[in-house]
C-alpha cells in the first residue's frame, strides 16, 4: 500500500484570527526621537521652511499687485470729485484724476467739469524698484483751518499737502507745515 501526503486545506477558507486583533489592526509606526534625527533631516526641514516662506511671499506679492491692477489700472489712476471753491460749485464739483505715469505723479484738476479750464499739477518723481506701479490717492479736507478745502496726495506712506490758495492749489511751504498737525 502506498502512502501519499497531500495538503487538505481549502485555500478559499479563512484562517482563524489571532486573539486580540480586530478586523482593522494597524501596524505600529516608529517615530524617531529627536535625539536620533541626523543633521541632514534638520537642515532639510529648515531649507524646506525657507523655500516655503519665499514661495508664499512671492504669491502674496503677486496677488496684491493683481488687486492693484484691477483697482487702479495699469497706470495706477485714481478719480474723484471734490468741491474746492476754485471755479466750481457744490452742484458742479471739480473732477480730479491722479496718476502715476512712469514714476511721475500727475494730478489733473478739472474745475467744475469744464475741460477748457483743466490744470495740471506735477507731483513728485518716485524713486525705487517697481515705483511705477505705486497707486496715488487723493483726500480733501481743511488742514490749516482757513475754512477752504485742501488736497492731500497720498503716495505709499507719505502725504503731500496742496493748500487751497483761493484761485489755485499750491504746495505747502516748510513754514506752513510747521503749523499743521495731521490726524
Q: Higher pLDDT residue, 35 or 92?
A: 92
pLDDT tens digit sequence for 67-118: 888 887 777 788 999 998 888 888 999 999 999 888 899 999 999 888 899 9
Please report, for the chain, the start and end positions of each structural domain, with discontinuous segments joined by +: 42-72, 77-178
In degrees to the nearest 10, what's the CA dihedral of 53, 54, 60, 64?
Answer: 150
CA atoms within 13 A on the CB side of 36: 4
SS3 35: helix
pLDDT in the model for residue 33: 63
Amino acid at each position: 500500500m502506498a502512502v501519499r501526503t497531500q495538503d487538505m486545506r481549502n485555500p478559499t477558507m479563512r484562517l482563524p484570527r489571532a486573539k486580540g486583533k480586530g478586523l482593522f489592526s494597524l501596524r505600529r509606526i516608529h517615530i524617531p526621537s529627536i535625539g536620533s534625527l541626523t543633521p541632514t533631516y534638520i537642515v532639510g526641514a529648515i531649507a524646506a521652511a525657507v523655500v516655503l516662506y519665499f514661495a508664499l511671499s512671492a504669491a502674496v506679492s503677486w496677488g496684491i499687485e493683481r488687486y492693484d491692477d484691477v483697482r487702479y489700472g495699469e497706470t495706477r489712476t485714481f478719480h474723484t470729485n471734490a468741491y474746492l471753491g476754485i471755479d466750481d460749485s457744490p452742484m458742479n464739483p471739480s473732477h480730479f484724476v491722479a496718476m502715476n505715469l512712469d514714476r511721475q505723479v500727475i494730478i489733473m484738476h478739472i474745475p467744475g467739469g469744464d475741460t477748457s479750464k483743466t490744470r495740471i499739477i506735477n507731483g513728485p518723481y518716485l524713486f525705487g524698484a517697481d515705483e511705477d506701479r505705486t497707486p496715488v490717492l487723493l483726500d480733501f479736507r481743511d488742514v490749516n483751518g482757513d475754512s477752504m478745502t485742501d488736497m492731500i496726495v497720498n503716495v505709499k506712506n507719505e502725504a503731500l499737502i496742496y493748500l487751497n490758495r483761493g484761485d489755485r492749489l499750491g504746495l505747502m511751504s516748510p513754514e506752513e507745515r510747521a503749523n499743521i498737525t495731521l490726524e
